[in-house]
Amino acid sequence: MSRAIHVFRSPDRFIAGTVGEPGDRTFFLQAVHESRVISVALEKQQVAILTDRIDSLLDEIARRFNAEVPPRTRKVSDLSPLITPIDAEFHVGTMGLGWDAEAQSVVVELLAVTEGEFDESIVLDDADEGPDAVRVFLTTDAARAFAARSQRVLSAGRPPCPLCGDPLDPAGHLCVRTNGYKRDVQFSVGGEFIDPEVLKNLAQQADTGLFDDDDDTGAVDPEEGSDDPDTPPRG
């Protein structure tokens, strides 16, 4: 069966959001255009990596090409929850990021988890074989807005321990700073992030590189407040 590629060239909305209580949240990305809604599930670490890569790509575009790119911001204009009911198309395994110079758009591609290996050259490509995908084209304003909201969503979970920085668990927190031992924590991202050399050649995605990230932080300015846009009403 041929793969399904869901393309949004001018989405009305592309956001990150969650369902569930802090400490037990499921993360989703959702693309919306008129009555069409596509949602995909992914890990918190994947949202953090995608957010960081988008901000870095926009910064580099502005620096190298003196392009008009909005600056990084913590202001979130869209605080509405995900559209429900949420029926995830798939769970994200691989993510692609590119720059369409002709359309002046950031391109985000989300590929489904697969059991076997696949040719990485199909990322941001319309090949017939490969994982199902969602491909979204974002203006630079929309890309910054996505990153700002995602940072808010990431930081709206469990508050960090003031001593060790690990998330506080309502059921109890074993702080490494008060129990006489130190542990090494490594986060395993549920999937690879493939970036097709967007900073080397922004007009064409000729090559790809693999990224791993063990940073699960999404700090927000305390003066920003703690509005949580992620969790939609149940029912």
What are the strands, taking DSSP E only, across 77-229? 88-100, 105-112, 133-138, 193-195, 209-211
* pLDDT per residue rounded down to tens, the chain (235 residues): 689 999 999 999 999 999 998 889 999 999 999 999 999 999 999 999 999 999 999 999 999 988 889 999 999 999 999 999 999 999 999 999 999 999 999 999 999 999 878 788 889 999 999 999 999 999 999 999 999 999 999 988 767 677 766 666 666 666 766 654 433 433 334 344 445 454 444 444 334 333 334 444 443 343 444 455 665 544 4
Q: Kind and range of the H or E element at 141? A: helix 140-154
CA 90 and chain centroid, separation: 15
Note if the pTM is more than 0.85: no
Is the bond into 85 cis (omega within 30 degrees of 0)?
yes
